[in-house]
Structure 1
Amino acid sequence: MSIDHGVLNVPLHKRGNIDAEIDRHMAQQRREQRDAAKARAAQWKADKARALVLIDGLSDEQITALAGRARVQKRSVRKNLRDNAGLCPARVVKMLEGLAA
């Protein structure tokens, strides 16, 4: 990397404040991360609500089919689905929407 002597000859107070630029950049990154986290949280809440609605709407035939596929008792299917909806609601929604289709 070569040194640009034209820039080196400019006094420091005229080159700009690199610390202020770094601070602005870091603040912008923190804002973007905070906004992304809020969006993920809102999506998670919406997925969880959708999963719980789908779980409540399951018929006895669907519960029996799920119990057979998962090799668990029928009475524990809804409990397991609710537990999984609290951990990863998007997967539960995807599975139940695929089951309904």
Structure 2
Amino acid sequence: MLDHGVLNVPLAKRGDLARQAARSVREENRAQETRIKADRAASRALFLEARKLIEAVSDERMAELGLPHGLTVKQTRAQFVAIARRAPARMIKNFSNELAREASQ
């Protein structure tokens, strides 16, 4: 970790501490970037799965879902896709149940 007491020492007298601190910061930044990329990839995969489930729901059911709000089938799907961008896990759960319900009928 970075020792803030070292910051008050002139650069010429710091020796190896400055290089160690810089290396530590670089390593932390790389680790954070790796975590961010992994999280982004996982989120993207969830979104794509949710979108696939939304597209699998029949047009008739989408029309029923959009009717109370005055939306067409296309608008209803677009609304659900927009929600899936923010909360893909919830849309996966909801539309998995919806598809199971459609299959049982």
TM-score range for the pair, normalised by the shorter chain length: 0.5 to 0.7
Instruction: Describe how 1:1-101 pairs up with structure 2 within 5 A.
Output: 17-60=16-59, 62-63=61-62, 64=64, 67=65, 71-73=68-70, 75=72, 76-100=75-99
Structure whose CA Rg is larger: 1
For structure 1, the 5+ residue unaligned runs are: 1-12
Normalising by the residue count of structure 2, what TM-score does the alignment of the two structures yield? 0.61
Between the aligned partners of 1:92 and 1:27, the Cα distance in structure 2 is 38
More helix by share: 2
User: How far apart, in 1, do the equivalents of 2:21 and 2:39 lie?
Assistant: 27
Report the count of equivalent residues: 85
Determine what percentage of the aligned residue pairs are the same residue.
27
Q: Provide the alpha-carbon RMSD of the alignment.
A: 2.9
How far apart are residue 99 of structure 1 and its match?
Answer: 3.6
Unmatched runs of 5 consecutive residues or more in structure 2:
1-12, 101-105
- Supply the distance in 1 between the matched residues of 2:36 and 2:80 (Cα, whole angstroms): 25
TM-score by length of 1: 0.63
Q: Which moved more, 1:15-24 or 1:43-52?
A: 15-24
Cα 1:84/1:96, change in 2 over 3 Å = same
Indicate conservation of the 8 Å contact 1:50/1:93, yes or no.
yes
Q: Is the 8 A contact 2:57 2:98 kept in 1?
A: no
